[in-house]
Amino acid sequence: MGKEVCVLVLSRKKNESIVIDDDITIVVVEIRGDKVRLGVEAPKEVPVHRREVFDAIRRNEAAAEDGNDKADAAKSQGDS
């Protein structure tokens, strides 16, 4: 089962921000029509990605793991 997730919905204006866990700050940099530009201040060791990039990374990791599993299975069959 997945972990339970809560969603906090906020309204922010330009130059207003939110803080996550003391060391991550999200700032509304610009609002233009239906687009909002956000700035993210986070420690270098904290990965920050757009959702589509994050999803692509996860798909690549899963594919690499699947490839490793198949290679391990083929290798173990050759050891018989």
What is the token pair recorded at 15?
């130059």
Question: Residue 2's pLDDT is what?
Answer: 78
In this structure, the answer to whether residues 11 and 38 fall within a common structural domain is yes
Range of the domain at 32: 7-45
Beta bridge partners of 28: 38
In this structure, the answer to whether residues 66 and 79 fall within a common structural domain is yes
Question: Residue 78's pLDDT is what?
Answer: 65
In this structure, the answer to whether residues 53 and 80 fall within a common structural domain is yes
Mean pLDDT of 16-22: 96
In this structure, the answer to whether residues 40 and 60 fall within a common structural domain is no
In this structure, the answer to whether residues 37 and 57 fall within a common structural domain is no
E strands of the chain, at which residues? 17-20, 24-32, 35-41
In this structure, the answer to whether residues 56 and 77 fall within a common structural domain is yes
For residue 2, tell me if it sits in a domain: no
Number of domains observed in the structure of the chain:
2
**For residue range 27-80, what is the model confidence (pLDDT) as tens digits?**
999 999 999 999 999 999 999 999 999 999 999 999 998 877 666 666 666 665
By the 10 Å C-beta count (0-12 exposed, 13-18 middle, 19+ buried), 27 is classed as: middle
By the 10 Å C-beta count (0-12 exposed, 13-18 middle, 19+ buried), 12 is classed as: middle
